[in-house]
């Protein structure tokens, strides 16, 4: 555990977006923190999809990350073109083209979208042995020493507090809150990463090039196409800003997303989720075979290793966790569909808040139970809005969801009165 000044020993389970932002924030403040991540190494993940970064998410990262890590993140972020999206029908007749307000304005130092694999490697910069790979959590236990995490390797680690940052299928959550699982929205999504050059050579119509586009088919299927244009290739940015840091080469790409309702899959979920990347690309191509010729073959242009499927789920309602030593952040606390690009930003928001509160505890300004009570109430309220936003966007673009999108209502934690 990295230690500088006195403070609660923090064990973080999961070195993804939220866990690493929290680790950076606590490490920079000199608080004792260790992250336990199940992946064998940082190089295991190659599925580098695009993450939209909202003003909230950017603010949270600027608050937690040291200046050189931020410089690297900005250099490897998306080169922004335009502020809106273009919507078409499947024959590419324009439908509408909303512009979105962005309170950050058009400035050159805005982080508007990032590549997830690059983000993760950037977030690891400078953390060294704060992050331990190859540690898959199987069980947590509260005891007289604090909280102990037990790993599949047979090792264990004890802290004063444990943060579940282990994502949508959180093992901590499954142990402590098995009955409260996210709800299935009924939508199945195929994601692919398509090389930008290849897509342009294959004849993507000019009007869609470099644009954030939605195509809404008359059959209810929905395609999203989002460009990721690196300001600077990540490996070159690393050589300039952080020599020796291993970042991917980073060729520009489109993230392609095809949403299909499960009633339209023509196969059970068990069969759909057993399809490999090549078969998923084939599935998407068949579904788009009557669409505009410039769209039909898109999924065939991706590397099958980067093509995968997920089901869209959401926590409804978002509920606070009722323990004083274990808290959750990000998807472990509040899963939501990727529509609207809100999940990672919410994880970053949680991490920044938790960093602030744990610093306050370390400085003697508050107690741990009071800090966790405040954390849980604020996260529940913020995440309720975020889930509601992502569901509204899902409903708007995907149309058929298996749930009613509720008006936002917030549950309070057991610590609310403190
Ligand atoms: C294709 C796609 C596109 C998306 N686009 C956007 C977007 O544009 N904007 C946005 O804001 N959000 C987006 N999201 C959502 C976003 O990726 C998640 O909300 C975000 O990654 C959540 O962060 P997290 O830290 O909670 O979890 P994660 O980033 O998933 O990290 C969890 C970590 O925990 C580790 N872990 C899991 N189980 C264990 C265990 N038992 N023991 C130890 N470690 C464990 C995992 O290996 C992982 O590293 C998208 C999601 C997808 C799938």
CA-to-CA distance for 77 and 91, rounded, in angstroms? 32
Q: Are 168 and 337 in contact (CB under 8 A)?
A: no
- 226 — phi, psi (to 5°)? -125, 125
Q: Which residue is it, tokens 């299909």?
A: 260
Ligand 1 atom closest to the Cα of residue 255 is 1
Q: Using a 6 Å cutoff on CB, does residue 283 contact ligand 1?
A: no
Tell me how far the alpha carbon of residue 331 lies from the centroid of ligand 1, in angstroms. Answer: 7
Tell me how far the alpha carbon of residue 15 lies from the centroid of ligand 1, in angstroms. Answer: 9
Ligand 1 atom closest to the Cα of residue 335 is 19
Q: Using a 6 Å cutoff on CB, does residue 338 contact ligand 1?
A: yes
Tell me how far the alpha carbon of residue 118 lies from the centroid of ligand 1, in angstroms. Answer: 14
**What number of CA atoms fall less than 13 Å from residue 313's CA on the CB side?**
18
186 Cβ contact list (under 8 Å, min separation 6):
261, 262, 263, 312, 400, 401, 402, 403
Tell which residue, 53, 57, 7, has the closest CA to residue 27: 7
pLDDT tens digits, 291-349: 999 999 999 999 999 999 999 999 989 998 877 899 999 999 999 999 888 999 999 99
CA-to-CA distance for 268 and 275, rounded, in angstroms? 11
Residue 128, classified by CB atoms within 10 Å of its CB into exposed (0-12), middle (13-18) or buried (19+), is exposed
Tell me how far the alpha carbon of residue 165 lies from the centroid of ligand 1, in angstroms. Answer: 9
Please choose from 338, 351, 352, 387 the residue to mutate so as to test ligand 1's pocket, defined by most ligand atoms within 8 A of CB.
Answer: 338
Which residue ranges form the domains of the chain, and what is each CATH number? 10-80+113-183+314-398 (3.50.50.60), 184-312 (3.30.9.30)
CA-to-CA distance for 413 and 379, rounded, in angstroms? 10
Task: Please report the DSSP string for 237-291 in residue order.
Answer: HHHHHSTT--------EEEEEEEEEGGGSSS-HHHHTT--HHHHHHHHHHHTTTS
Tell me how far the alpha carbon of residue 116 lies from the centroid of ligand 1, in angstroms. Answer: 9
Ligand 1 atom closest to the Cα of residue 138 is 41
CA-to-CA distance for 224 and 39, rounded, in angstroms? 29
Task: Give the closest residue (by CA) to ligand 1 atom 15.
Answer: 343
Structure tokens at 408: 């936002």
Q: Using a 6 Å cutoff on CB, does residue 38 contact ligand 1?
A: yes
CA 161 to chain centre: 23
* Partners of 87 in beta bridges: 96, 214
CA-to-CA distance for 344 and 172, rounded, in angstroms? 19
Q: Tens of pLDDT along the chain (418 residues)?
A: 544 567 899 999 999 999 999 999 999 999 999 999 999 998 887 667 899 999 999 999 999 999 999 999 999 999 976 667 899 999 999 998 877 777 887 777 899 999 999 999 999 999 999 999 999 999 999 999 999 999 999 999 999 999 999 999 999 999 999 888 899 999 999 999 999 999 999 999 999 998 889 999 998 899 999 999 999 999 999 999 999 999 998 899 999 999 999 999 999 999 999 999 999 999 999 999 999 999 999 999 999 999 999 999 999 899 988 778 999 999 999 999 998 889 999 999 999 999 999 999 999 999 999 999 999 999 999 999 999 989 988 887 776 788 777 665 555 554 433 3
Q: Which long-range contacts (CB under 8 A, 24 or more apart) does 155-160 make?
A: 157/1, 157/11, 157/34, 157/36, 158/9, 158/11, 159/1, 159/8, 159/9, 159/10, 159/11, 159/34, 160/8, 160/9, 160/10, 160/325, 160/368
């Amino acid at each position: 555990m990295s230690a500088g000044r006195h403070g609660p020993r923090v064990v973080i389970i999961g070195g993804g977006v939220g866990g690493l932002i929290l680790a950076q924030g606590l490490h920079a403040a000199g608080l004792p923190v260790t992250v336990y991540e199940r992946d064998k190494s940082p190089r295991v993940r190659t599925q580098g999809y695009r993450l939209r970064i909202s003003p909230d998410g950017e603010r949270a990262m600027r608050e937690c990350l040291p200046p050189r890590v931020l410089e690297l993140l900005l250099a490897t972020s998306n080169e922004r073109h335009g502020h809106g999206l273009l919507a078409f029908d499947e024959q590419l007749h324009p439908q509408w083209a909303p512009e979105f307000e962005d309170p950050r304005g058009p400035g050159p130092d805005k982080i508007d979208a990032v590549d997830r694999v690059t983000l993760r490697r950037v977030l690891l910069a400078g953390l060294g042995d704060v992050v331990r790979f190859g540690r898959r959590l199987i069980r947590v236990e509260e005891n007289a020493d604090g909280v102990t995490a037990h790993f599949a390797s047979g090792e264990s680690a004890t802290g004063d507090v444990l943060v579940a940052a282990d994502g949508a299928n959180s093992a901590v959550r499954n142990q402590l809150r098995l009955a409260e699982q996210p709800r299935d929205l009924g939508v199945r999504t195929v994601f692919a990463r398509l090389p930008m050059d290849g897509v342009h050579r294959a004849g993507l119509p000019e009007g869609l090039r470099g644009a954030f586009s939605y195509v809404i088919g008359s059959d209810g299927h929905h395609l999203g196409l989002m460009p990721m244009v690196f300001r600077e290739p990540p490996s070159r940015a690393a050589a300039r800003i952080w020599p020796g840091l291993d970042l991917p080469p980073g060729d520009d790409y489109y993230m392609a997303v095809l949403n299909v309702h499960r009633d339209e899959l023509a196969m059970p979920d068990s069969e759909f989720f057993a399809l490999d990347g090549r078969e998923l690309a084939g599935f998407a191509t068949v579904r788009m075979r009557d669409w505009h010729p410039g769209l039909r073959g898109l999924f065939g242009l991706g590397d099958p290793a980067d093509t995968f499927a997920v089901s869209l789920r959401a926590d409804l309602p978002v509920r606070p966790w009722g323990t004083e030593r274990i808290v959750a952040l990000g998807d472990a606390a509040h899963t939501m569909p990727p529509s609207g690009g809100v999940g990672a930003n919410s994880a970053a928001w949680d991490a920044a808040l938790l960093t602030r509160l744990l610093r306050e505890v370390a400085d003697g300004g508050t107690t741990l139970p009071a800090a966790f009570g405040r954390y849980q109430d604020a996260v529940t309220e913020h995440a309720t809005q975020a889930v509601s936003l992502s569901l509204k966007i899902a409903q708007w673009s995907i149309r058929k969801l298996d749930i009613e999108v509720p008006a936002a209502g917030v549950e309070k934690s057991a610590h609310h009165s403190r």
